[in-house]
Amino acid sequence: MLEQEVKALIIDVLQLEDITPDDIDAEAPLFVEGLGLDSIDALEIGVALQKRYGITLSAESQETRRHFASVRALASMIEANRKK
């Protein structure tokens, strides 16, 4: 369920037309391959994740970069770090 929310958030924030959450593979890379996102997209997604889930992200952190590898990785990170 959280993966579907993350997919919908990515589509909404990046205004990806003609893509549905079901079109996004939860394990596919978000950058270069897969969705082909770039660093500006990552920033926009990061801000949206912070607003929606109350999590803190550091753009300089290697750990944060690993979390942005796929929708599944993002969902796992949100679940682990979400402020109650």
pLDDT digits (tens, 9 = 90+) for 15-29: 998 999 999 999 999
Beta-carbon contacts of residue 42 (< 8 Å; ≥ 6 apart) = 30, 31, 68
**CA–CA dist 62, 17 (Å, integer):** 30
**Structural domains in the chain, sorted by start:** 1-81 (1.10.1200.10)
Q: Residue 49, by phi and psi: left (phi above 0), alpha (psi -120 to 50) or beta?
A: alpha
| pTM of the predicted structure, to 2 decimals | 0.88
Whole-Å CA distances, 49 to 5, 18, 26, 45:
11, 22, 16, 6
Residue 40 has pLDDT above 70, yes or no: yes
What confidence tens digit (pLDDT) does each residue in 67-84 have? 899 999 999 999 988 654
pLDDT band at 12 (very low <50, low <70, confident <90, very high): very high
